[in-house]
Chains A and B, each alone.
Chain A
Amino acid sequence: MSDADPMPALVEAARQGDAGAMDALYRRFAPVVHGVLLGHVQKADADDLTQDVFETAIQRLGELRESAAFPGWILSIARRAAADARRKRTPLTGVDIERASSQSEHGDRLDAERSLAAIRALPEAYRDTLMLRLVEGLSGPEIALRTGLTPGSVRVNLHRGMALLRAALAGTTKGASVR
């Protein structure tokens, strides 16, 4: 199995124990899972939890009835993992990774942390979509494909989320409903 194969075919092959299909699914969905997790935990913890989420997903793949439902299914696992991690008082790694990131300039690093904090403060739909777009570098169509959302919903969430983020970063806040 290769990365070019359709997602349902990859899921079916992984269900049959194909390690190559499992790897392909991981490469395709790890950024999405990571982006969702990053909305709740620090980067190092998100890195670790991404692996945990895939381990859980692969072990429970037999429980997934529809292969096409894989994107929403694995994101639900990721959200549960994030909620579990958030209930813990201290970061899983015990290290404030954001402060130890590779940002070279002090000002940029502060801006990055401030931006991340602002995104994390957004409602879930905007938070996840913006994380995938601005952090993981996915385009709108890619986000739609890998989350199971419609392109229209993703576009609206991006638009509204970005508006809220601009306002938050500018020190002003606008209310908005989540679609």
Chain B
Amino acid sequence: MNGDERMHDDGDDYLWDHSGQVDPQVARLERLLGAYAHPETPRRQLVSSVAPSVTALHRGNRRHLRWRAAFAAAAVLMLCAIGTRTWYQQRLHWEAGRPWQVVSQQGEVRIDGRNAGPSATLDTTGILETGPATVARLRAAGIGEIALGEGSRLRLVETRSGRHRIELQQGRLWARVWAPPGQFGVGVPGADVIDMGCEFLLDIDAHGNGILTVRSGWVQVDNLRREVLVPQGTRVRLNGGGAAGSPHANDASQAFIAALEAIDGRDGMVNPAGAEVRALIAASRPQDAISLLSLLQAYPRLAEGPMFERMAHLLPGVPASRAAWEAGRIEQLNAWWAALPYPRLKRWWMQWPDALPSRSEKIAAWLHSPPGG
């Protein structure tokens, strides 16, 4: 500070610390400029994802936090993938011949004629039978579960990784399986019922007559005379002495079902423009397309009548013409199959809720409901 500045020191006291004589110009500037001062607003809080923690403050800036979060997310995803794969492999793995566990039972359950205890198992030499008002529930290897209603008779035919077969000689069976198509199958008198990743209810008498109701996914019925694909929300009649019927929607009308059974009963050998076909067409709705398509696939001659036009009308988004049908029937059928509003067979894993356990009271209610109900 030079001498001139020292001479001003006394006069600058007010400028320095508001002491001494008030400097009018400084005071006026204070008054004018005070409105521009910091508004004393509270500090803006950092968003939680980047709020400083003890470690974050010492580790650097926000970019590092983002990288750490990304790596953490990737690690979690990788662990989930590994966990899911391990769980899936364990679910499908089953030692050959290993017995199935009876997990619960209500009423009278016998294995090889003896009352089953609380921790009973069923192996490939045994036969499980149920008495009146009975529900027996078993774990189907590691891929699902089954339950038997009253008056049922079941045999475990084969069980190993990738292939599990049981035989329902009579009675009512509920099954829920989450596994690749074909791993689980049920033999009934005169036919095989193959799981395609699904949940179903099977009601059969000792002669192989009965009804299959599919609750989710797809089931294939094969009796060496005919293969029938049955999607969720539909059911099909099984005939121990003949071919399986065609599937129909659970809520199809009685007139439709009667016409369908009349055509199936004659193995499709009806007049393509006859009374049975006309009755079927008259009672058909868009949700009955599965039935018409199954008939056309099993009995192509029916396409000579009005069933072809009706099918094209029920699935208007699929180009269809008689010329195309005659040139390549398989392509036309495939196009219609692809347009049906059911889960894709190749996406069986999308039915993942079937991997979850079911409630016992629900199963019991289904097993006690009227056949086909």
Contact = CB atoms under 8 A, between A and B. Distances in A.
Nearest to A130: B29
B34 interface: yes
Interface of A: 15-17, 22-23, 26-27, 30-31, 34-35, 38, 43, 47, 50-51, 54-55, 58-63, 98, 101-103, 108, 111-112, 115-116, 133-137, 139-141, 152, 155-156, 158-160, 162-163, 165-166
Contact of B58 (A30, A62, A137, A156): A62
Contacts of B5: 156, 159-160
21 contacts: A17-B53, A35-B38, A59-B46, A59-B52, A59-B61, A62-B56, A103-B35, A108-B32, A112-B32, A112-B36, A115-B29, A135-B33, A135-B36, A136-B38, A139-B17, A139-B18, A155-B1, A155-B12, A159-B15, A162-B12, A166-B25
Q: Is the interface of A mostly helix, strand, loop or mixed?
A: helix
Contact of B60 (A30, A63, A101, A139): A63
Interface in B250-269: none
B1 A115 contact: no
B80 to A, nearest CB: 31
Contact of B50 (A35, A59, A158): A59
Interface in B170-217: none
B29 A134 contact: yes
B15 A162 contact: yes
Given A50-B38, A59-B46, A159-B8, A134 B30 contact: yes
A141 B269 CA distance: 110
Contacts of B9: 155, 159
A30 B199 CA distance: 68
Q: Which of A59, A115, A136: most chain B CB closer than 10 A?
A: A59
Contacts of B15: 133, 140, 158-159, 162
A112 B33 contact: yes
B323 interface: no
B57 A51 contact: no
A15 B52 CA distance: 9
Given A58-B57, A63-B60, A103-B35, 16 more contacts: A16-B57, A17-B54, A26-B42, A27-B43, A30-B38, A47-B41, A50-B38, A51-B44, A112-B33, A134-B29, A134-B33, A135-B34, A139-B16, A140-B15, A162-B12, A162-B15
